[in-house]
Amino acid sequence: MSQMIKFFLNGQKQEASVRPDMTVLDWLRSAPRLTGTKEGCAEGDCGACSVLIGDPHGDSVQYHAANSCILAMGQIDGRSLVTVEGLKTEVLHPVQAAMAENGSSQCGFCTPGIVISLAGLAANNVKPDDHAIHDALAGNLCRCTGYRPIVEAARKVAGGGGAAISGPQVAAFANLDPQKAISADGSTFHQPGTLADLLQLRKDKPDALLLGGGTDLGVALADYHTDWDEVISLAHVREMRVIGETENHLSFGAAVTWEEVLARVAGSYPSFATLIRRFGSTQIRSMGTIGGNIGTASPIGDGPPALIALGADVELASLNGRRFMALEDFFLDYRKTELRADEVIASVSIPKPKPGQEFRVYKISKRYDQDISTVCAAFSITREDGQVRSARIAFGGMAAIPRRALEAERVLVGSQFDAKAVDACAAAITAAFKPLSDWRGSADYRLQVAANLVERFWRDVSGETVEVMAL
């Protein structure tokens, strides 16, 4: 078992012998003293700690921004890490130059993180529009300059046609495969490469922490509320990184990230794509996985309501075999699920859109970007000659688990989806749920919003309201 985490740091091969559960932010600021990367919130929200993580993809190395405060050192083994110090070669990176020329920085605390996010954008998109620029900045908080000069700097870079990240070429990764296990100072980080190896580990080490992207688990790590003595990382399990397609279904390996899900569903389910764009930030979506969102079993997770309304099935796997179930049956009670101690969530599949199907999902939160849902509502109906043939409605934030509104669905089926049916459906929703009051919203507010969203759905599918993608 290796004691060294091996990776590229700003283009140079690097080895670190530290506990693999040390955060990348703590390591950067202490060992190599790369203090350009800042700590703000230490919970994935503000972007001050943003770094770029690169992995070989075909014949190029693809980079995405990540929050180093909630990223463990074990997670960068075999990868390329670029900090704000590594962007500059003999000359400033175009984003750095544009930010400086444009007066886009005042106190400068947020600036390295913003430069990293925009450099990630410039590497992946040669001509980003304003939507893409705003998306890239949604996870970076600037408290004093304000965003106008920052967006203008980003537009200037976009006008210049993007910019690559200087770092190792694909060939340089040849001897840097993620190691099977790393152990230092009492923390062990397993990185199985196949589902069979993962399931064996899961059986042998039922108490080890299963780690997807770590965007949920990493928050407690950043706050020093926990140590990870034994981790099984899912990031390199081949079968869980695959997006598959059959004639009627799309399937997502549990370790597929939300950015990857977003790219795949944008054509089939634009409303789902709009929801995913509001999921955390680019950094969070590039790290967080679809399996992790289900694994948290949070009553306010955004993925489950949309997936349940779409009719998703989840695949659970262990050495004893696989079992499949409707996603709504996976959730049993508050943070309790069907998952057994020797099982993992292996994949999630959703049916492809059917003729006559209308699907919309709405996230109601205090802020548009980077916020937690107060209520998340998803509606899917199929109609023939105006009559509703099938309906699935699911809510997050309305009960201890993400839940279907079965009676409200029954009310819609067979109806012409007219004003009367909308009122009856809304009444069935009000009768079916007893949500909690918390600082995000009172029980009455949640009930009112949930009922009102039926009308919103009706107006949207009747073509009365603004385009979903433009929201």
Binding site for ligand FAD (CB under 6 A): 43-45, 210-217, 219, 234, 254, 279-280, 284, 287-289, 291-293, 295-296, 301-303, 339, 344-345
For ligand FES (CB under 6 A), the number of binding residues is 23
Residue 109 binds ligand FES (CB under 6 A): yes
Residue 384 CA: distances (Å) to CA of 186, 241, 381: 62, 37, 10
What is d(CA 292, CA 67) in angstroms, rounded to the nearest whole number? 17
Per DSSP, the three-state class of 321 is: strand
Q: Give the one entry of ligand FAD, ligand FES, none that residue 26 binds, where binding means its C-beta sits below a cut-off of 5 to 8 angstroms depending on kind.
A: none
How many residues make up the chain in this entry? 471
Residue 129: phi and psi, rounded to 5, are: -90, -175
Smaller CB separation from ligand FES, 222 or 450:
222
Smaller CB separation from ligand FAD, 98 or 256:
256
Kindly state the smallest distance separating residue 95's Cβ from ligand FES, in Å: 15
> Tokens 């070669």, residue?
89
What is d(CA 407, CA 115) in angstroms, rounded to the nearest whole number? 50
Q: Give the one entry of ligand FAD, ligand FES, none that residue 107 binds, where binding means its C-beta sits below a cut-off of 5 to 8 angstroms depending on kind.
A: ligand FES
Which residues neighbour 347 within 8 Å (Cβ) at sequence distance 6 or greater?
239, 240, 244, 251, 252, 253, 254, 291, 314, 315
Kindly state the smallest distance separating residue 369's Cβ from ligand FAD, in Å: 9
Which residues neighbour 134 within 8 Å (Cβ) at sequence distance 6 or greater?
151
Residue 148 binds ligand FES (CB under 6 A): no
Smaller CB separation from ligand FES, 38 or 236:
38
Which residues in 286-325 contact ligand FES (CB under 6 A)? none
Task: Compose the 20-59 pattern: x for residues touching ligand FES by CB under 6 A, - for all others.
Answer: -------------------xxxx-xxxxxx----------
Kindly state the smallest distance separating residue 418's Cβ from ligand FES, in Å: 47
Smaller CB separation from ligand FES, 26 or 328:
26
Q: Give the one entry of ligand FAD, ligand FES, none that residue 280 binds, where binding means its C-beta sits below a cut-off of 5 to 8 angstroms depending on kind.
A: ligand FAD
- 220 CB burial (10 A radius; 0-12, 13-18, 19+): middle
Residue 81 binds ligand FES (CB under 6 A): no
The closest residue (CB) to ligand FAD is 292
Q: Give the one entry of ligand FAD, ligand FES, none that residue 386 binds, where binding means its C-beta sits below a cut-off of 5 to 8 angstroms depending on kind.
A: none
Radius of gyration of the chain from Cα atoms?
Answer: 23
> Tokens 């600037």, residue?
142
Residue 144 binds ligand FES (CB under 6 A): yes
What is d(CA 164, CA 123) in angstroms, rounded to the nearest whole number? 5
Kindly state the smallest distance separating residue 149's Cβ from ligand FES, in Å: 10
Residue 106 binds ligand FES (CB under 6 A): yes
Kindly state the smallest distance separating residue 372's Cβ from ligand FAD, in Å: 6
Q: Give the one entry of ligand FAD, ligand FES, none that residue 42 binds, where binding means its C-beta sits below a cut-off of 5 to 8 angstroms depending on kind.
A: ligand FES
Smaller CB separation from ligand FAD, 127 or 340:
340
The DSSP element (H or E) to which 443 belongs, if any, is: helix 443-461
Closest-CA residue to 178 (of 77, 106, 266, 287): 77
Which residues in 397-436 contact ligand FES (CB under 6 A)? none
Kindly state the smallest distance separating residue 266's Cβ from ligand FAD, in Å: 17
The DSSP element (H or E) to which 39 belongs, if any, is: none
Smaller CB separation from ligand FAD, 209 or 461:
209
Residue 145 binds ligand FES (CB under 6 A): yes
Per DSSP, the three-state class of 225 is: coil
Identify whether the C-beta of residue 440 lies closer than 8 Å to the C-beta of residue 464.
Answer: no
- Strands of the sheet containing 230-233, edge to edge, are 181-184, 187-190, 230-233, 209-211
Smaller CB separation from ligand FES, 93 or 190:
93
Kindly state the smallest distance separating residue 152's Cβ from ligand FES, in Å: 14
| Angle at 123 (CA atoms; ends 119, 129), nearest 5 degrees | 85
Residue 251 structure tokens: 């399937």
What is d(CA 16, CA 247) in angstroms, rounded to the nearest whole number? 47
Q: Give the one entry of ligand FES, ligand FAD, none that residue 28 binds, where binding means its C-beta sits below a cut-off of 5 to 8 angstroms depending on kind.
A: none
Residue 361 structure tokens: 């999902």
Task: Compose the 449-468 pattern: x for residues touching ligand FES by CB under 6 A, - for all others.
Answer: --------------------
Which residues neighbour 425 within 8 Å (Cβ) at sequence distance 6 or greater?
393, 408, 411, 412, 454
Q: Give the one entry of ligand FAD, ligand FES, none that residue 279 binds, where binding means its C-beta sits below a cut-off of 5 to 8 angstroms depending on kind.
A: ligand FAD
- 406 CB burial (10 A radius; 0-12, 13-18, 19+): middle
Kindly state the smallest distance separating residue 28's Cβ from ligand FES, in Å: 12
Q: Give the one entry of ligand FAD, ligand FES, none that residue 388 binds, where binding means its C-beta sits below a cut-off of 5 to 8 angstroms depending on kind.
A: none
User: What are the residues binding ligand FES (CB under 6 A)?
Assistant: 39-42, 44-49, 67, 69, 105-111, 142-145
